[in-house]
Amino acid sequence: MAILKILQYPDERLHTVAAPVAHVTNKIRLLIQDMAETMYDAPGIGLAATQVDVHERVIVIDISEKRDQLLVLINPEIIASHGASDYEEGCLSVPGIYGKVQRAESVTVKALNAQGELHVVDASGLLAVCIQHEMDHLVGKVFVEYWSQLKLTRTLARLKKKQRRTM
């Protein structure tokens, strides 16, 4: 297993639309292991393959306190959603930046697991938000892009200033 490099916003590769996974192979399983290790190390609660510059529809999530309930979603598709809620979000690709995004309060998602079996997940609260956030990455969208142009411009300026300090 390996810790992968997480792309940082506004890297253009974060806007790449991920391709569906044709078959769940050992290569995909290794990617899942590496993504999980990367997410836990960061530390974060979710990671999409796009964020590690692999443009396939793979997501790993673990919102458990003990970090022992890894959820793998391959080719995820929201089949139902209900309600709306504003949630304070952050992102491993936009470190140190947090803000509210309106998303569905609950979602039902169908996806393949690491064994290639179809499963359905009913999620609400933080898990629903995390799933929607990570699925956005698969279509090339980052959570800050939901914000007003003014707030996004200020966020980009903060990120550039932070990057200059670390160079």
CB 45 within 8 A of CB 133: no
pLDDT in tens, 91-135: 999 999 999 999 999 999 999 999 999 999 999 999 999 999 999
DSSP helix/strand/coil, 5: coil
Cβ atoms of 125 and 82 within 8 Å: the answer is no
For the whole model, what pTM was predicted? 0.95
- Note the pLDDT of residue 1: 76
pLDDT band at 167 (very low <50, low <70, confident <90, very high): low
pLDDT for res 165: 76
Q: Determine the Cα–Cα distance for residues 93 and 111; give it in Å rounded to an integer.
A: 24
The strand pair at 71-82 and 106-112 is best described as: antiparallel
Least confident of 28-37, 52-61, 78-87, 150-159: 150-159
Q: What domains does the chain contain, in order, with CATH numbers?
A: 12-166 (3.90.45.10)
- Check residue 162 and give its pLDDT: 79
- The residues carrying an active-site annotation are 134
Interval 55-64 mean pLDDT: 98
Q: What percent of the chain is predicted at pLDDT more than 90? A: 89
